[in-house]
């Protein structure tokens, strides 16, 4: 870059210096020409003035006319002025025609002055005739000398004009040479730029495109200039990007889920190695195929519509479908699709939920078996035991009554456990169906206390009702079941002769129920899991008080179906308080 600036600058400087010198010389020649022309004009004026003054002078003497004498004096004054101007223009140096001309005109001027004085004295002398002859001779010499001056200055003017022509020719040559040199320099610069800088810049541009296309870069540029340093930065950035891509690819390839990208036509552009583990396809075999072609036939249109929904909504969209593996097996997949406007494609994560679906099917089968194959026989056994205990089949001894009563309680527990299992499954699959009624909250709590009173009396536990009277809209049966469940748990985990308090109060638009006991309490690390399914929490000393672990989970589902919340406050060794809230006016439902 320095050469591209300094070389043209030096050449242009030489060009302008040479051009300036020629212009200076031309200016000097023009001045010489101007002096020659001025000299010619002045010589001519002096000669004409001298001739006119001499003629007027001798005419005034011959004819005695004063007017001619005055005119002669005027002519001689003009001649004096022109002589002074001529000396300024071309100072006499004794060797030129101008010097001779000036010497002759000064002699003639002296002679004419003497003649003029004589004329002025009105004296006519014989010498005047002699002077007239001398004047004629002087005028002739003056004419000859003037012609020499004219010839010399004319020759000088011609020489000056010739030199001017030569200078102009040189100037033209310099300008043409400058243009030619600049043109050649421009070609050299362009060629040099194309072969050096241009080539290096093209390498940089090509490297940037190669980075974008994930291709190997050109060899590093040699040198220590800025372009080489920039190329080094690009290579370093490429190395870091390669490492980053390798890490990202390793993460994607080691991911158990299938990750792929689709174009706008739902054609697979990229896919990770999990496709081989999940579906048995090699990456290259799966890449380039239409996504719907791997979906079971009757779900292809739904899968395509779901992908288009993800594209149109421009947000994450999930759906379930079934894909056919390479061996023909059908795999259940949960597809999470996200449209990328920047990449103009759909990114998908395919989670294999075949095991989950199979588990759900097995669970449904188990639920169906429990519902039909267990509950019906157990209900029948329970009814038979009820009739035995009631003496319908006749009187039995005390031992038989004791055994029948124990069997009756066991069957009732089994039926209650089955009902809980069916309730929680129904709540998770279809939701809890609510039937709202208007009622006083105090009546709801009173009914629940009446249900659990026999069990509380068996342990000498005192039940306290501290419920405020609030007119509310709830599903009476569901809330009653929640209260009964919480009271039963409180009785189960409370010591004999303790106190259990059931209360309710209104807080704005919310109705809050509480059941407080004086039991052992719940460990702090187990409070968060107390409402989970199949969970039993306690201090570890209640091994004989195990249940299904579904009661509190059912309570939670029923309270949340009302739009409320449920929780617990507990202090280890001092007891627990279970609470739940529901809106006073209820919430709209689909029922």
Looking only at the bridges linking them, the beta strands covering 499-507 and 462-467 are parallel
Number of other CB atoms surrounding residue 77 within 10 Å: 12
Cα–Cα distance for residue pair 338/346, rounded to 1 Å: 6
Q: Is the dihedral of CA 453, 459, 460, 465 positive or negative?
A: negative
Residues 6 or more apart whose CB falls under 8 angstroms from that of 403 comprise none
Find where tokens 């059908």 sit.
Answer: 330
Q: 381, 411 in Cβ contact below 8 A?
A: yes
Q: 251, 280 in Cβ contact below 8 A?
A: no
Cα–Cα distance for residue pair 37/43, rounded to 1 Å: 10
Q: 111, 128 in Cβ contact below 8 A?
A: no
pLDDT at residue 29 in the model = 72
> Could you give phi then psi for residue 340, rounded to 5 degrees?
-110, 115
pLDDT at residue 544 in the model = 42
Which is nearest to 261 in space by CA: 341, 337, 324, 313? 337
Cα–Cα distance for residue pair 116/60, rounded to 1 Å: 10
Percent of the chain with pLDDT over 90: 11
pLDDT in tens, 330-388: 889 999 998 888 878 888 988 888 888 887 777 777 766 666 666 677 777 878 877 88
Higher pLDDT, residue 11 or 569: 569
Q: What's the average model confidence in pLDDT over 478-496?
A: 89
Q: What's the average model confidence in pLDDT over 408-416?
A: 70
Q: 158, 66 in Cβ contact below 8 A?
A: no
**What's the whole-number average pLDDT of the chain?**
78
Q: What is the dihedral of CA 30, 31, 37, 43, to 10 degrees?
A: -160
Q: Is 477 exposed, middle or buried (0-12, 13-18, 19+ CB in 10 A)?
A: exposed
pLDDT grade for 403, boundaries at 50, 70 and 90 = confident
Which is nearest to 27 in space by CA: 178, 160, 154? 160
pLDDT at residue 591 in the model = 40
pLDDT in tens, 265-320: 889 988 888 888 888 888 888 888 999 889 998 999 999 988 888 888 878 888 99
Q: 486, 463 in Cβ contact below 8 A?
A: no
SS3 (DSSP) at 117: helix
Lowest-pLDDT range of 72-76, 394-398, 511-515: 72-76
Q: Cα 158 from chain centroid?
A: 77
pLDDT in tens, 14-61: 777 777 777 777 777 777 767 777 777 777 777 777 777 777 766 766
SS3 (DSSP) at 320: strand
Cα–Cα distance for residue pair 120/239, rounded to 1 Å: 117
pLDDT at residue 96 in the model = 63
End-to-end CA distance of the chain: 84
pLDDT at residue 443 in the model = 92
Q: What's the average model confidence in pLDDT over 221-242?
A: 80
Q: Is the dihedral of CA 547, 549, 554, 560 positive or negative?
A: positive
pLDDT in tens, 107-161: 666 666 666 665 544 444 444 545 555 556 666 766 676 677 677 767 777 777 7
Residue 91 has what DSSP assignment? Answer: -
Q: Cα 55 from chain centroid?
A: 103
Higher pLDDT, residue 430 or 56: 56
HSE-CB at 380 with a 13 A cutoff on CA atoms is 5
pLDDT in tens, 51-100: 777 777 667 666 666 777 777 778 777 877 877 777 776 666 555 666 66
Judge whether residue 101 has pLDDT over 90.
no
Lowest-pLDDT range of 194-198, 334-338, 535-539: 535-539
Q: 316, 338 in Cβ contact below 8 A?
A: yes
- In terms of pTM, does the model score above 0.75? no
């Amino acid at each position: 870059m320095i050469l591209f600036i300094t070389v043209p600058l030096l050449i242009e400087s030489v060009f302008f210096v040479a051009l300036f010198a020629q212009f200076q010389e031309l200016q000097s020649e023009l001045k010489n020409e101007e002096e020659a022309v001025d000299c010619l004009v002045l010589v001519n004026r002096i000669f004409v003035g001298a001739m006119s003054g001499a003629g007027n002078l001798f005419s005034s003497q011959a004819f005695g006319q004063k007017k001619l004498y005055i005119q002669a004096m005027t002519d001689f004054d003009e001649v004096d002025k022109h002589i002074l101007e001529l000396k300024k223009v071309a100072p006499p140096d004794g060797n030129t025609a101008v010097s001779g001309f000036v010497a002759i005109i000064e002699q003639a001027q002296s002679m004419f002055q003497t003649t003029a004085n004589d004329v002025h004295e009105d004296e006519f002398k014989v010498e005047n005739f002699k002077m007239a002859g001398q004047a004629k001779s002087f005028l002739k010499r003056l004419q000859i000398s003037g012609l020499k001056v004219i010839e010399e200055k004319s020759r000088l003017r011609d020489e000056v004009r010739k030199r001017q022509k030569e200078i102009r020719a040189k100037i033209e040559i310099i300008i043409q040479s400058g243009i030619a040199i600049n043109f050649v320099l421009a070609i050299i610069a362009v060629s040099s730029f194309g072969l050096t800088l241009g080539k290096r810049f093209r390498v940089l541009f090509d490297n940037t495109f190669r980075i974008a296309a994930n291709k190997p870069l050109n060899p590093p540029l040699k040198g220590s200039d800025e372009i080489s340093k920039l190329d080094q930065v690009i290579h370093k950035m490429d190395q870091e990007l390669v490492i980053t891509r390798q890490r990202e690819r390793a993460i994607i390839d080691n991911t158990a889920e299938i990750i792929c990208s689709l174009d706008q036509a739902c054609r697979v552009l990229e896919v990770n190695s999990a496709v081989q583990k999940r579906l048995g396809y090699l990456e290259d075999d799966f890449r380039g195929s239409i996504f719907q072609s791997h979906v079971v036939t009757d779900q292809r249109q739904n899968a395509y519509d779901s992908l288009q929904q993800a594209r149109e909504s421009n947000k994450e969209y999930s759906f379930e479908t079934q894909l056919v593996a390479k061996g023909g097996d059908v795999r259940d997949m949960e597809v999470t699709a996200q449209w990328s406007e920047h990449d103009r494609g759909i990114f998908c994560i395919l989670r294999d939920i075949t095991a989950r679906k199979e588990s759900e099917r097995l669970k449904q089968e188990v639920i169906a078996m429990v519902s039909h194959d267990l509950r019906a026989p157990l209900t029948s056994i329970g009814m038979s035991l009820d009739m035995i205990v009631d003496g319908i089949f006749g009187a039995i001894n005390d031992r038989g009554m004791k055994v029948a009563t124990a069997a009756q309680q066991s069957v009732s527990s089994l039926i209650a456990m089955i009902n809980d299992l069916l309730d929680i499954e129904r709540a998770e699959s279809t939701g809890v169906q609510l039937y709202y009624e208007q009622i006083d909250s105090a009546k709801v709590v009173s009914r629940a206390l009446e249900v659990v009173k026999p069990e509380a009396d068996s342990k000498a536990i005192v039940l306290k009702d501290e419920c405020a009277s609030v007119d509310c809209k709830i599903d009476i049966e569901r809330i009653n079941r929640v209260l009964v469940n919480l009271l039963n748990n409180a009785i189960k985990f409370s010591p004999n002769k303790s106190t259990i308090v059931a209360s309710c109060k209104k807080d704005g638009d919310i109705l809050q129920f509480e059941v407080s006991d004086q039991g052992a309490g719940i460990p702090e690390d187990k409070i968060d899991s107390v409402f989970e399914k199949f969970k039993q929490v306690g201090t570890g000393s209640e091994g004989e008080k195990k249940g299904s672990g579904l009661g509190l989970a059912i309570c939670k589902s029923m309270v949340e179906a009302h739009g409320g919340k449920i929780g617990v406050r507990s202090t280890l060794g001092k007891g627990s308080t279970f609470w739940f809230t529901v809106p006073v006016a209820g919430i709209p439902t689909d029922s």
